[in-house]
Amino acid sequence: MRRRLFAFATLAVLMLSATLSRPAPASSALDSRSGFDSPASMKAWLNLTDDQVAKLRPVIDTRITSMDAAIDKAESSDKPDVLGFVQQYGEIKKQFDAGVAAILTPDQLKQWGQFKAALEKDLVAQGAHKQLLKLQPALKLTDDQVTKLVAPMVTATQGKVDVLQKLAASGRIGLRDKLQAKKSMEAVNDAFVKAMSAVCSPDQVS
């Protein structure tokens, strides 16, 4: 059960890592909705000029197309290439960030970074709670146990997101990077299992 638990959680976190910067579609029909990285949203948050918005559209469109293709490929595979996805995600993110940096002013970039950090915190919390709800039937968790495990799951999810994003930012992923990431993931998993042991029965944790 423990192995299946963390295989599921790692894939979920992998998708969450991409979703943190997955923009909303930039079509005029959807620009009015509150979507992360949509032209309309960025214009409102960062006080962009019309010229900046026009320049951002193709950058965002490219990001959407590339990220959707990568996520769809990972989700449709019985055995997703986790490291391959992480590396591809890192390349897409690097190109997108460079495109945005060439358009925004330094002050706008700083504000955008602060907003993304706050959004990531919220998304991680939501993702952690959803993971627990999906695991509740399999592990036969009570509602009280789920409540007590939310904080440890948030910590574990954020830890895995940090590991995957650091790995993605490294560019070319070598053996040393893989081993370090594996070691970090195992440390996160061990910490969560310890937290689970304090809340759950031995049968639920084993």
Q: pLDDT digit string (tens) for 126-183? A: 878 888 888 899 889 999 999 999 999 999 888 888 888 788 787 777 888 888 888 9
> Higher-confidence residue: 70 or 187?
187
Q: Tokens for 112? A: 């955008």
pLDDT 10s digits, 11-53: 555 555 555 545 444 333 333 333 455 667 778 778 889 999 8
- Determine contact, residues 123/16, Cβ cutoff 8 Å: yes
- Cα Rg for the chain, rounded, in angstroms? 19
What is the reported pLDDT for 9? 52
Counting Cα atoms < 13 Å in the Cβ hemisphere of 39 gives 21
Helix extents (H) in the chain: 2-19, 39-46, 50-76, 82-101, 106-139, 143-169, 175-197, 202-205
Confidence of residue 194 (pLDDT cuts 50, 70, 90): very high
The residue whose two tokens read 């070598």 is: 174
- Assess whether pLDDT exceeds 80 at residue 5: no
